[in-house]
Amino acid sequence: MQQRDKLWEIERQSGTFLLGVEQGREQGREQGLEQGREQGRRETLVELILALLEVRGIAVDRAAEARLRGCEALVTLQSWARGAREVSDVHALFEEE
């Protein structure tokens, strides 16, 4: 057991181990940034859709707003954003899926 601990300590102090740790951290940061950007795009699209509907005088009930805010798919939100320019009822957005 003691020998294994010593080997582990040597590995931890090696450049290869430290490089691997740093690469792992960098990859984690990049993934986190990308996830943050994607979340930002989703939130922006939801706000755009709600603004378009409001400007056009189309009422958005709680269920429709919850559905918009709960959508995780960018492709779907982009489709709804295009549809928000033309629909006469908020629920018509969801029928076009």
Examine the pLDDT at 31 and tell me if it is beyond 90. no
Residue 80, both tokens: 């709804």
* pLDDT for position 25: 74
| Closest of 88, 46, 87, 51 to residue 67, by C-alpha | 46
**pLDDT on residue 88:** 94
Give the span between the Cα atoms of 32 and 97, in whole angstroms.
Answer: 29
58 φψ region: left (φ > 0), alpha (ψ -120 to 50), beta (else): beta
Q: What are the sequence ranges of the domains in the chain?
A: 2-95
Of the pLDDT bands very low, low, confident and very high (cuts 50, 70, 90), residue 15 is low
- Within 8 A by CB and 6+ apart from 64, the residues are 90, 91, 93, 94
The whole model's pTM is what? 0.67
